[in-house]
Amino acid sequence: MSRERFPARAAGVALVLLVAVLLLPASGAAAGTPAPADQTDDDYLKQSPAAPAPDRPAGDFGLGPNQAAKLPPYPPGAEGDRTPLDLYRYAGRGASSWGSPNLRMPFPEWLEMHRRQKPILMAEVAAYMQARYDFTPRARPGATMSGGKAIMDGPAARLPKGIASYEALAALGPDAIRDRDLFPYTPLSHPLQTTAHMLFTQTWVRAHPEHERIDVDFDIPDAFTPDFPPPMFLTTHKELGDVTYGREVTLANYYALFNGLLTGEQMEGLKELLRVTPTTWFNHTEHRVTAAPSAGVSCFSCHVNGHTNASIALAPDSRPNQARLRVDTPTMRGNYDLMQLSSKRSIRSMDHFAEVEEYFDGDPGLMQAIGPRSQQRQVTNRMGDFNAIIDFPPAPKLGPMMTLVRSRATPAELRGEALFHGKARCDACHAGPAFTDDYMHDLQVERLYVGRPEGPIKTFALRGIKDSPPYLHDGRAPTLADAVEFFNIVLELGLTREEKADLVAFLLCL
């Protein structure tokens, strides 16, 4: 375009625009069309009222006694306040989706409140757990985890009074079990759900006393938790076995342990998995649950050596705190073979999971005040890259197609394998090399008790399952025998005592 023509064309465009503006009616309506009688300048761009559904019939949508309208509302509670331990019986909503980075009292008062409250709280938690479980350690003969720790026999859950056996309980059916309040595997809450956050096992706290909380202690005995520290196996170095040589991997020793085994990118990812950062309640501010300021925690504080130490937290995906599900720390072993990496949400990659790891309980406002993790996508990718080479533990009795090698298996284990793929219907969800279908399933467990439905939970991999007690997403099944009893009741499988024992024998081979 020449210099001579450009001013003329610009002037022509301006003239057209001026004419168009002059032709527009002042009200903004089409020319010649009067504004509606109920529209004023104040209503311009105002959203229409929400559309009602006046003819929709009232109903409970099949929830029956588990409908929110028939459950008591959550008891009120600010952080630090005690609430009932059977929070699954309640429903409702909270006052806000956001929390505050400020304590509701001066820190000395917060410290003193928990100094007085903690002994009373833990005595009641111990009584509650003792009423539900027999935690007497009973090691299963000849059965150990990959690191050598004894595996507890079970079931540990107590039978309801008046019920002679688990077979008799299962025979009652879901309706009778619910109506008589007999189900032994109701959900577990966090011992202090109003504050919640990460709660470390006693084994971990003895090694890392900076994570001892002023307000609450872990509620499951050490005998029912994984090896500590657990071994670590790498897909890239199977010939080395446990690459940690029986030590906990830390920021101080990871370089000496892994230099020459990993790529530079993987080394950076491992470093970031080990680097401590502030969290909602473990930090340097007065908004904390430790007596002294804390540098925070790392991914490997819970996923120790890429596995788990059974520490708990609350799932970050619901409000109020009383509605959030207690969740165990899942293992990171074998994540290379999985497509679902969160109990309740569709997180589909390891780098995505590293990016959204909920150090601040899903509340970015707390992160802004206390201190963000600040991992960039490039860094979380590298964290995911290291996660992608953490292997399942060895399973000497499994062949390449993940079936038992008959010459190495016992008759009970072989019978258990047949049950797994047959009467017990385990492989309907637990299939493939990791023994998971990578879906979420709603077991509708609320059919067996009156309480809030928990909804779909992901299918956890069973490969290496003997190393990951306690079981189910909240640890309500302390042993594999408890997990088998749970599914026998919930899915109405009709397994005999002998069949359940055979099934446990097979699960220990995985």
Question: Are residues 268 and 227 located together in one domain of the fold?
Answer: yes
Q: Quick one: which H or E segment has residue 440?
A: strand 440-441
Is the pLDDT at 351 greater than 80? The verdict is no
CB atoms within 10 A of CB 92: 14
Cβ–Cβ < 8 Å for 145, 467: yes
Is the pLDDT at 270 greater than 50? The verdict is yes
Q: Give domain status of residue 178, yes or no.
A: yes
Residue 476: the pLDDT is 98
Question: Are residues 384 and 411 located together in one domain of the fold?
Answer: no
Phi-psi group of 248: left, alpha or beta (phi > 0 → left; psi -120 to 50 → alpha; rest → beta)? beta
User: Which pLDDT band holds residue 38 (cuts at 50, 70, 90)?
Assistant: low
DSSP string across 481-509: HHHHHHHHHHTT----HHHHHHHHHHHTT
CA 253/CA 52 separation, integer angstroms:
62
Q: With a threshold of 0.85, does the pTM exceed it? A: yes
Is the pLDDT at 9 greater than 60? The verdict is no
Closest CA to 469 of 302, 328, 326, 301: 328
Is the pLDDT at 2 greater than 50? The verdict is no
Q: Give domain status of residue 403, yes or no.
A: yes
Query: Among residues 346, 377, 392, which one ends one of the domains?
Result: 392
Q: Give domain status of residue 54, yes or no.
A: no
Region of poorest pLDDT, from 10-19, 260-269, 386-395: 10-19
CA distances from 98 to 192, 343, 366, 469 (A): 19, 22, 9, 33
Question: Are residues 226 and 297 located together in one domain of the fold?
Answer: yes
Residue 481: the pLDDT is 98
User: Which pLDDT band holds residue 36 (cuts at 50, 70, 90)?
Assistant: low
Question: Are residues 490 and 349 located together in one domain of the fold?
Answer: no
Q: What percent of the chain has pLDDT over 90?
A: 76
pLDDT tens across 166-194, in order? 999 999 999 999 999 999 999 999 999 99
Query: Among residues 359, 392, 425, which one ends one of the domains?
Result: 392
Question: Are residues 318 and 378 located together in one domain of the fold?
Answer: yes
- List Cβ neighbours of 379 (8 Å cut-off, separation of 6 or more): 268, 269, 272
Closest CA to 311 of 187, 464, 208: 208
Q: Give domain status of residue 374, yes or no.
A: yes
pLDDT tens across 212-248, in order? 999 999 999 999 999 999 999 999 999 999 999 999 9
Is the pLDDT at 20 greater than 60? The verdict is no
Question: Are residues 388 and 501 located together in one domain of the fold?
Answer: no
CA distances from 207 to 213, 218, 299, 373 (A): 14, 15, 16, 24
Question: Are residues 333 and 364 located together in one domain of the fold?
Answer: yes
Cβ–Cβ < 8 Å for 232, 261: no
CA distances from 237 to 232, 492, 510 (A): 11, 43, 20
Query: Among residues 341, 363, 392, which one ends one of the domains?
Result: 392
Fill in the amino acid letter for 188.
L
Question: Are residues 259 and 347 located together in one domain of the fold?
Answer: yes
Count of structural domains, the chain: 2
Is the pLDDT at 17 greater than 70? The verdict is no
Is the pLDDT at 23 greater than 80? The verdict is no
pLDDT tens across 442-498, in order? 999 999 999 999 999 999 999 999 999 999 999 999 999 999 999 999 999 999 999
pLDDT tens across 373-400, in order? 767 788 888 998 999 999 999 999 999 9
User: Which pLDDT band holds residue 43 (cuts at 50, 70, 90)?
Assistant: low
Q: What are phi and psi of 144, to 5 degrees?
A: -135, 160
Closest CA to 255 of 265, 238, 273, 270: 270
Q: Give domain status of residue 342, yes or no.
A: yes
Q: Give domain status of residue 157, yes or no.
A: yes
CA 447/CA 453 separation, integer angstroms:
9
Question: Are residues 375 and 491 located together in one domain of the fold?
Answer: no
Question: Are residues 141 and 250 located together in one domain of the fold?
Answer: no
Residue 33: the pLDDT is 46
Q: Give domain status of residue 31, yes or no.
A: no
Is the pLDDT at 42 greater than 80? The verdict is no
Q: Give domain status of residue 383, yes or no.
A: yes
Mean predicted lDDT score pLDDT of the chain: 90
| Structure token digits, residue 246 | 């029986």
Query: For the CA atoms of the chain, what is the radius of gyration?
Result: 28
User: Which pLDDT band holds residue 345 (cuts at 50, 70, 90)?
Assistant: confident
Among 29-43, 54-68, 197-211, 377-391, name the most confident range.
Answer: 197-211
- List Cβ neighbours of 382 (8 Å cut-off, separation of 6 or more): 265, 266, 268, 269, 272
Region of poorest pLDDT, from 59-68, 197-206, 355-364: 355-364
Residue 291: the pLDDT is 97
CA 276/CA 289 separation, integer angstroms:
16
Is the pLDDT at 11 greater than 70? The verdict is no
Question: Are residues 255 and 383 located together in one domain of the fold?
Answer: yes
User: Which pLDDT band holds residue 3 (cuts at 50, 70, 90)?
Assistant: very low
Region of poorest pLDDT, from 6-15, 265-274, 379-388, 403-412: 6-15
Question: Are residues 464 and 435 located together in one domain of the fold?
Answer: yes
Q: What percent of the chain has pLDDT over 70?
A: 90
| Domain span at 321 | 63-101+192-392
pLDDT tens across 84-113, in order? 999 999 999 998 999 899 999 999 999 999
Q: What is the CATH number of the domain that holds 453?
A: 1.10.760.10
Residue 442: the pLDDT is 96
Cβ–Cβ < 8 Å for 484, 471: no
